[in-house]
Amino acid sequence: GTENVAAVAGFGAAARAALAGREAAPARMAALRDRIEAGLRAESPDVVIFGAGAERLPNTISFSKPGMKAETAIIAFDLNGIAVSSGSACSSGKVQPSHVLAAMGVDPALAGGAIRLSLGWDTTEDDAGNVLNAWRKVASALSKGRGIAA
């Protein structure tokens, strides 16, 4: 058959665009990750950032707060337009705490409140600000004992 020249050219353009941002994207995402983590801690000094200080993916934040229940925190974030999860993508649908956090020696109660937030190539500074605004509401509800705490 006839080659789909337009599709071949489009794929080539997409590959060039993806490769162009390949070097800068990890550093940009790490800066956004670090900004969000600093904001989480500023609002709630007892927040635990899992893996902080270790070499890790630039686009993933995993955190918990003592007394926080993941399921209700997820709902609270969702109500504020932020998609988060309580575990890795490969453990979707499981309700027990992360086996990775257990292997790290994290207390099961703290692990039970773990939230994972992933950043993408198109995550912006405004998105980071939206996450922190949502966290302020979640943390406020936690401090007032309004259904988010375990």
Those residues with Cβ within 8 angstroms of residue 61's Cβ, 6 or more apart along the chain or in another chain: 33, 36, 37, 40, 49, 116, 117, 118, 119
Catalytic residue among 89, 90, 93, 122: 90
**Enclosing H/E stretch for 115:** strand 115-118
Those residues with Cβ within 8 angstroms of residue 112's Cβ, 6 or more apart along the chain or in another chain: 69, 70, 97, 150
For the question of residue 90 being annotated catalytic, the response is yes
Give catalytic residue positions. 90
